[in-house]
Every structure is written in structure tokens, then in C-alpha cells.
Amino acid sequence: MAETLAQALNRYDANVTIVALLGKGHMSHGLGVPRWTASLVPHSHRTVTPVPMNHPRSVVDPDLGDYVWITEAVAPRHRGRLGIMIRPGDEQEEGVKVMNVFPGSAAQKAGLRAGDVILRIGDEEVRSFEDLHGELQKQRRTHRFILRRGDEEIPVTVEMD
């Protein structure tokens, strides 16, 4: 994206205004595309970050962008929380290791423990945070895990709140 924008900036003279529509993750906090583009082609730019009027924080982070565009309220999405901290294994290891299980969480209620290694959710292999998050994003109420605990592989069913 930054290279394409840099090419466009090089193509036109300095009097032309270019507007690039980017997802918040590609430009918030002055990172991503704006920073990479500026490293390729010096130029002046400003960022505008949309924030819904019912944003969960009462004070908007001033570093989100140069300007904040207050948008319509959005319907809140309820996502259950698993309640664990994990560490991905290295390339030789399978799964992701559970480093901590939070008291009262869905994970604790299902019996997950620190030291468990999550190998699979349903039929999907888990090798990274992204794999775990991708399966949990499917917003099912029940998730079937296969864990390695010591030398055993054990099934665990987690009921999300």
C-alpha cells in the first residue's frame, strides 16, 4: 500500500491532493502506511480516524490520528472471553502454551491449567495466536479443545459466556 501511494505521489505535482482510505489498523498512531510512505517519498499528510459515538472509552486516544471523525453509534458485539494468556511454541513445538488462566474465566471453568498446550480447537490445528483467535471469532458458544497435559492428550469442552 505504501509503495503504491508513494508511486502516486511521485506521479503528480505537489498541488494535487491524494486521499487514501485505509483501515484503522493500517494507520493508527502514525504507524503503518503513513510512516512507510513518508520514508519513501517525503510529503505532508494528515490522518482521520473514525470513532463511533458510543466508543467504550470516555476519552478518545489523541494518538489515533490527526483528526477524529465521530460516526454513528454501533451495536455492541458480545464476544465471550476465553481468559488465558498464551505463548506460541517455537517451530519444533506443536500448539500454543497456556501461561496463565484467569480466575472465573471460561477457561478456568472448563479446567484449563497453566502449562497446558492447546493443540486443536474442533478439527483445526492451533499453532499460533492467530489460529486460536480465528477459531474463537466464529462466535460459537461451545468450543472443543484438544490439549496436551504432560504426556497425555485430553479433550476439554469450553462454554463461552
Identify whether residues 105 and 133 lie together within a single domain.
yes
CA angle 151, 124, 112 (to 5 degrees): 45
Residue 55 is predicted with a pLDDT of: 72
Residue 156 is predicted with a pLDDT of: 96
Identify whether residues 112 and 59 lie together within a single domain.
no
Residue 69 is predicted with a pLDDT of: 83
Range of the domain at 123: 84-159
Identify whether residues 57 and 108 lie together within a single domain.
no
Q: What is the full per-residue pLDDT of the chain (161 aa) written as tens digits?
A: 888 999 999 998 878 888 888 877 677 666 788 888 988 998 888 888 888 887 766 456 777 778 888 888 877 665 668 889 888 666 667 889 999 999 999 999 999 999 999 999 988 999 887 888 888 877 678 999 999 999 999 999 999 87
Query: Which residue, chain included where needed, has cell 491532493?
Result: 17
Residue 78 lies in a domain: no
Residue 79 lies in a domain: no
Residue 102 lies in a domain: yes
Identify whether residues 17 and 55 lie together within a single domain.
yes
Nearest C-alpha neighbor of 65 from the set 114, 101, 32: 32
* DSSP letter, residue 145: E
